[in-house]
Each structure stands twice: as structure tokens, then as C-alpha cells.
Amino acid sequence: MDLSMPIPSAAPSASLAIDGQRLWQRLMALARIGATPKGGVCRLALTDLDRQGRELFMRWACELGCTVRVDAIGNLFARRAGVDDTLPAVATGSHIDTQPTGGKFDGNYGVLAGLEVLATLNDAGIRTRAPLEVCVWTNEEGSRFVPVMMGSGVYAGAFSLEHALAATDRDGVSVRDALRAIGHAGDAPAAVADGAPRFGAYFEAHIEQGPVLENAGVTIGAVTGALGQRWYDVTVTGMEAHAGPTPMPLRRDALLVAAGLVQRVHAIALAEQPHGRGTVGCLDVFPNSRNVIPGRVRLTVDFRHADDAGLARMDAALRDAAREAARGGITVDVNPVVDFPPQPFDAELVEWVRQGARRAGLSCIDVVSGAGHDAVYVARTAPTAMIFVPCKDGISHNEIEDAKPEHLAAGANVLLHAMLARAGVA
Ligand SMILES: [Zn+2]
């Protein structure tokens, strides 16, 4: 524990609650910027629509009496002063960029839940000992620019500011130029290593993007950590030949071998329950002609697991599978491309999320995040936890993404009490 943090003072009144309707109205107002005909949102990072969304956030933050700083990768930080402004801020937030066919809640909810917490404290006349901040992280989705979770990744030092600024979209526009074009190339340092302030704690509220809470009939997920991820490109090479004259025993069919690997990836994950995940999401078949035996197949493998040992077992099993598959003139090449370690969240903060749910009379279970979030990077620099609320049928990254107003309000109340507990009521 960071000894510079304030000791939480007496718990604020349990009756203190956010205004669910105001939160919902802000969500709907932000969703109008880039609204799609099917009810979703298309607001890609650093476009003019993103600028409009950012400016709406900044206007709301200023109306709440916050100061806003913009850093060199375009992250926004709305700050509500604490009684002791030398204390590290207790922060929350998420992102407001979306997928091209994204929804209204992914990311936006975490940002606007943060503003709702500040509005609630203003209404109740509550001052906190530590300052509070609401963050908007740049390009979390990674749809226009890679790497994903760009703003929080730079902040935490996962990659350099220069690397991020040089990334280009499909039209060759760089992050650097896109930031300048929308006026959000700020002058505050972007990375903790370059002097960006470290938070005393970071909480992120987010829709679950999976079906666990809804299936369990539970309102709050106390997120204990995020699964680690290992991604691979696998290439199976055989020999193209005519589908008619080549007898079955003499074929070197790369797709047949790849099909076996798809099954093995599934089996490898099944052997690592409850947290193991294994997915083959892409399959490129060459030459992809109906009367040619496939000579080469490229497939992607995405493994996830809650701990490093599990990921190491999955890695070894994939390499065994590749070795066994490589015979009879077939070669299998396994190339690792991404390695995100599992990220446990801070045990004390997770406990405050559980307590916040209990205090508000809400059902709560522990869950792990299977997806990446800004919080996963921020957790490298400060004690961090996440609050999940259910989304309809577990669907997100889709225009039909939906969440119940009462669930969104419930998560924001948990966020309120967790932030207050950490920041201390003056
Ligand atoms: Zn998100």
C-alpha cells in the first residue's frame, strides 16, 4: 500500500446516491455524436466526431468546476480539487472512441459515470481530501490506429510516445497529425516516466462485454484482474496440387492439417478451465480455389489465461500440436506476435468495490476481465480495480449493444462509494 494515501475517514452516508437519470441523459447526448441509423455509434479516434465528443466532455467537466488538462497523446484529465491537492488523485475514466459499428456504452459509460460521481459530490457539498480526476484515454479501441489502448499504454510506458505518435491509419494520417487537426495535442507529459502524475488509485466502470453477470442474475462484477493474452500467427505449408489427379494418400493438404490445429486450440483451452480461452479467428487459405489442394494456410491463435503458468502450458501445448502436425512433407511455423501478461488488480481496491456494492444493497460476484481495458495498463502504475455491470446478451462492439439504466446507475453508485472511500471525505 502507498503510505502517502489518506486513511479513509468515516464512511459517507449510505443514502448518498448518484442521479441515474442525469447519467442516462448524458450517455444519450454523447451517443448522438456519431450516431448510426441502427442505434449505435461510429466515433473513431481523433476524427472530427471524436473532437466533438471530447469538447462535450470538457464542457460538462468545466460546468462541474473542474480544470481539464490535455497531455501529449491527447488524453484528457478533468480534475476536481481536493482539500489537500498535494495528495495523488483518485482517478476514474475510460474512453469515448468507438468501433466503426460500436455501441453507446463501451467506454462512454466509464467516463460519464466518473462525471456523475463529481456532479453528485457537488450537489451534496462533499469535499474529498485527495483530488479526484476523470480520464478520457485516447484511442482505446485501436480501430483507426494501432496499438490499441494507446493513450493509457503511453501513460504506463507499455510503448513510447514517439511510437504512438508515428502510428498511421489506412489513409496514411499519423496520430501526430490527427491530434493537431482536432486541437488535442496537449503539452502535459503523457508518460509517468516523463512526469505525468501517478494516481493514488484508479477505478474504471465498464459494461461487462460478456454474458457472465447476466447469466448469474447479478448486478455488479468486482473485477479481480484481467486475463493475460498470447497471440500467434501460425503458417502451415504443404503443396498445391490438382484436386482430381492427386490420389488421397499422396496429398500434402495444408488446410487438413490446419483444421486439426483449430480443434487442438479449442481442446488446449478446454483443459485450462475456468479461465483458459483459445480462439482461431482468422484462416487464410492459399490459393483458395475449389479444385486446388490448399498448399498454404495462415491461421491466428489467441490464447488467454488468468496466470502466466497457464499461458506457458498453453504455449507448450500449441508447440507440441505443431510438431505432431508437421509430417508427411507438411511444415508448421508458430510465430508469437503479442504477449500481454495477466494483470491482477489491487486486492484492497477490489474489496472496496465489493463493499460499495454491499452498502448499496446490490448483488456482486468476483469476475475476471477477458478483454483489454485502459485499467489494465494503468494498473502497472497505481493500485487499480474495475467495476463491471451487465450488458444485454453480453454483446458489445456492436450497434445493438445495450444496458439497463438501473444497472448503469448501480455501477456508478459503487464507483462513487469506492472513490470516496479511497479519497477520504474532508
Ligand atoms: Zn471499452
Q: Which residues are placed with Cβ below 5 angstroms of ligand 1, an ion? A: 106-107
Read off the pLDDT band of 8 (50, 70, 90).
very low
Query: Distance, CA 352 to ligand 1 centroid (Å)?
Result: 22
* pLDDT the model gives residue 10: 46
Calculate how far, in angstroms, residue 41's C-alpha sits from the geometric centre of ligand 1. Answer: 13
pLDDT exceeds 60 at position 186: yes
Q: How confident is the model at residue 265 (pLDDT cuts 50, 70, 90)?
A: very high
Q: How far is the CA of 7 from the centre of ligand 1 (A)?
A: 31
Q: Which residue has the cell 468546476?
A: 65
State mean pLDDT over 155-166: 98
Ligand 1 geometric centre to CA of 388 (Å): 11
**Which band of pLDDT confidence, cut at 50, 70 and 90, is reported for residue 12?**
low
In the reported structure, the alpha carbon of residue 332 is separated from the centroid of ligand 1 by a whole-number distance in angstroms of 35
Q: How many CB atoms lie within 10 A of CB 289?
A: 11
- The count of other CB atoms within 10 Å of the CB of residue 336 is 12
User: Has residue 237 got a pLDDT over 70?
Assistant: yes
pLDDT grade for 6, boundaries at 50, 70 and 90: very low
174 CA to centre of ligand 1 in angstroms:
22
Q: Residue 8 to residues 60, 90, 356, 418: CA-CA distances in angstroms?
A: 28, 12, 14, 10
Instruction: Check whether 368 has a pLDDT greater than 60.
Output: yes
Rounded CA gap, 260 and 258, in Å?
Answer: 5
Distance 113 CA to ligand 1 centre (A): 13
Mean pLDDT of 165-169: 97
Distance 1 CA to ligand 1 centre (A): 28
Q: CA-to-CA distance for 203 and 408, rounded, in angstroms?
A: 15
Preceding amide of 189 cis, omega within 30: no
Instruction: Tell how far the Cα of 241 is from the centroid of ligand 1, in angstroms.
Output: 46
pLDDT at 7 over 80: no
**Cα 407 to ligand 1 centroid, rounded to whole Å:** 17
pLDDT tens-place string over residues 78-110: 999 999 999 999 999 999 999 999 999 999 999
Residue with cell 441509423: 37
Ligand 1 centre to CA of 155 (Å) is 17
- With 90 as the cut, is the pLDDT of residue 254 above it? yes
Rounded average pLDDT over 276-286? 96
Query: How much is the pLDDT for 34?
Result: 98
The pTM is what? 0.90
Burial-class residue 162 by CB neighbours within 10 Å (0-12, 13-18, 19+): exposed
Write the pLDDT tens digit of every residue in 195-226. 999 999 999 999 999 999 999 999 999 999 99
Cα 149 to ligand 1 centre (Å):
9
Q: What is the pLDDT of residue 408?
A: 98
pLDDT surpasses 50 at 4: no
User: How many angstroms does the Cα of residue 107 sit away from the middle of ligand 1?
Assistant: 4
- 426 C-alpha to ligand 1 centroid (Å): 32
DSSP 285-299: EES--TTEE--EEEE
Per residue in 34-59, pLDDT tens? Answer: 999 999 999 999 999 999 999 999 99
Residue 20 has pLDDT above 80, yes or no: yes
Mean pLDDT of the residues in the chain: 95
